[in-house]
């Protein structure tokens, strides 16, 4: 009827809990969980739920999160609220009116902080993690061949520290679970930022290969590094350990376009799979690598972003698909809906016209702090393209081993 069909030969599952949607990191904070509302409505609006098994995720347990994170940090994340936080470690302000409350574990309630403590934060964290672990379990039991959680993919979180909008590293937890069954797991990260938390967690581990594509290098005249500032081509795992050579980094200048990204992604990913022969793949699909992203500096279109997903899917291995960054909400929703369609072999079945009657109308959201106004107007912002062909060729060459 709507043209959406179930894929033949593989099962896709979709893991989500709408409880993640109502959270607000803060008025000026770029991370808007509301983008997940948009994604959900677009996926449902197109009828993609008929092409896959959909599950409402339960929150992760503290024990599950302790598989990677420090027990004290887990307790803290479970208990903390804006009301209780201030008293954890309050530094007296130098000037009247100042608030100085950079607390333990790199959390803060100060405006402008990367990792604020906000109302409902604890619920949000354990829900996105629960969805990733449920998706992982589907792959472990063989009930799904592809499992999707767009609310996951928070790749910067460390063992006992939040970083870059990430508090619980659901990716590391997922990979640890996959290692119970699969001898080698490949992690691929197309978020515009370096997947530092995942790389660090497995830097001594040859059973996990991490491969991140990211913006790298100075981004202004003052020499400020693009966040998080790591992920150099020369960083390939912890030297002197058996994990050395099992981390790959593809640093990319701003402005990379579809053709250039395709060349890099396909040649390097194919070579990595060929050499490593993974038995399962985790793909972090951060949508901040799209052109026009509020934080990103790449110039790739949804079509090419999706082709990365198709390329990985084509390998025919158990596949965990996660979200990540993405700060121009309408583009995030368009990309992740498109990629849900690709995962279920419905890439060609989405009509060009968005079923607007099924998408929440902007006026229904007025007065909320999500920031994004109109839905899906044409949007393009060109970044200066300083990615020269020679650089691309050099990176591919350097990564050949
Ligand atoms: O640049 C920084 C830090 C803060 N300064 C001390 C240096 N932080 C970035 C963090 C980006 C995180 C990306 C997460 C992900 O990879 C995965 C979910 O996408 C940052 C930026 C920026 N333009 O890079 N923080 C903020 N902007 C920010 C802006 C307003 C309010 C709060 C944070
Ligand atoms: Ca990346
Ligand atoms: Zn990012």
Q: What is the pLDDT of residues 58-76, one digit of tens each?
A: 999 999 999 999 999 999 9
pLDDT of residue 93: 54
Nearest to 253 by CA among 285, 225, 274, 234: 225
**Ligand 3 center to 189 CA (angstroms):** 10
Q: Pick the residue whose CA is nearest to atom 2 on ligand 1.
A: 227
CATH code, 12-398: 3.40.800.20
132: left (phi over 0), alpha (psi -120 to 50) or beta: alpha
CA–CA dist 241, 233 (Å, integer) = 18
Contact 101, 109 (CB under 8 A): yes
Question: So which residues are the catalytic ones?
Answer: 194
Q: Pick the residue whose CA is nearest to atom 24 on ligand 1.
A: 227
Maximum alpha-carbon separation in the chain: 66
Pocket test for ligand 1, best of 149, 161, 165 (most atoms within 8 A of CB): 165
Strand partners, 163: 166
Residue 280: enclosing H or E segment and its boundaries?
strand 280-284
CA–CA dist 255, 289 (Å, integer) = 10
Q: Pick the residue whose CA is nearest to atom 7 on ligand 1.
A: 227
Strand partners, 249: 212
Q: Return the structure tokens found at 131.
A: 């969805």
Intra-chain end-to-end CA distance of the chain, in Å: 50
**CB-ligand 1 contact for 21 (6 Å cutoff):** no
**CB-ligand 1 contact for 69 (6 Å cutoff):** no
**Ligand 3 center to 292 CA (angstroms):** 13
- Give CA torsion, residues 247, 142, 13, 342, to 10 deg: 60
In the block, residue with structure tokens 């350990």? 241
Q: What average pLDDT does the segment 210-223 reach? A: 86
> Residue 136: is its pLDDT beyond 50?
yes
Q: Answer yes or no: is the ipTM higher than 0.95.
A: yes
Q: Pick the residue whose CA is nearest to atom 18 on ligand 1.
A: 325
pLDDT of residue 241: 98
CA–CA dist 121, 306 (Å, integer) = 30
pLDDT of residue 382: 34
Q: Per-domain residue ranges for the chain?
A: 12-398
Alpha helix (H) residue ranges in 56-162 = 62-66, 71-79, 82-85, 121-140
Q: Return the structure tokens found at 62.
A: 């503290």
Contact 334, 346 (CB under 8 A): no
**What would the pLDDT profile of 256-298 be if each residue is shown by its tens digit?**
999 999 999 999 999 999 999 999 999 999 999 999 999 999 9
pLDDT of residue 393: 59
Question: Average model confidence (pLDDT) for the chain?
Answer: 87
CB neighbour list of residue 379: distance below 8 Å, 6 or more residues apart: 292, 328, 330, 331
Atom of ligand 1 lying closest to residue 294 CA? 23
């Amino acid at each position: 009827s709507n043209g959406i069909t179930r894929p033949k030969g593989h099962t896709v599952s979709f893991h989500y809990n709408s409880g993640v949607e109502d959270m607000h990191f803060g008025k000026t904070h770029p991370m808007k969980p509301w983008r997940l509302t948009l994604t959900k409505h677009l996926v449902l609006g197109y009828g993609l739920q008929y092409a896959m098994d959909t599950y409402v995720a339960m929150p992760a347990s503290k024990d599950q999160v302790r598989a990677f994170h420090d027990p004290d940090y887990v307790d803290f994340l479970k208990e903390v609220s804006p009301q209780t936080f201030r008293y954890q470690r309050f530094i007296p302000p130098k000037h009247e009116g100042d608030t100085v409350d950079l607390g333990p574990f790199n959390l803060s309630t100060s405006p402008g902080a990367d990792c604020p403590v906000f109302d409902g934060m604890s619920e949000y964290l354990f829900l996105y993690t629960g969805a990733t672990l449920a998706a992982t379990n589907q792959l472990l039991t063989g009930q799904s061949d592809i499992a999707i959680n767009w609310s996951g993919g928070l790749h910067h979180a460390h063992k006992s520290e939040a970083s870059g909008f990430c508090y619980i590293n659901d990716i590391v937890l997922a990979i640890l679970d996959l290692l119970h069954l699969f001898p080698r797991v490949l992690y691929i990260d197309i978020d515009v930022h370096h997947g530092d938390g995942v790389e660090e967690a497995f830097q001594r581990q040859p059973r996990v290969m991490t491969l991140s594509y990211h913006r790298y290098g100075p981004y202004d005249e003052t020499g400020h590094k693009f966040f998080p500032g790591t992920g150099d081509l020369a960083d390939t795992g912890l030297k002197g350990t058996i994990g050395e050579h099992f981390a790959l980094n593809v640093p990319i200048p701003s402005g990379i376009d579809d053709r250039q990204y395709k060349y890099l992604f396909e040649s390097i990913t194919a070579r990595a799979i060929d050499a490593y022969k993974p038995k399962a793949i985790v793909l972090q699909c951060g949508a901040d690598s799209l052109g026009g992203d509020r934080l990103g500096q790449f110039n790739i279109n949804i079509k090419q972003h999706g082709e990365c997903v198709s390329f990985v899917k084509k390998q025919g291995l158990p596949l965990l698909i996660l979200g990540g960054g993405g700060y121009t909400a309408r583009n995030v929703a368009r990309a992740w809906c498109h990629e849900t369609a690709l995962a279920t072999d419905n890439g060609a079945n989405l009509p060009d016209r968005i079923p607007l009657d099924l998408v929440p109308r902007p006026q229904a959201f007025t007065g909320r702090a999500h920031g994004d106004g109109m839905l899906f107007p044409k949007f393009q912002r060109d970044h200066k393209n300083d990615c020269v062909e020679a650089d691309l060729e050099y990176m591919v060459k350097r990564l050949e081993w």
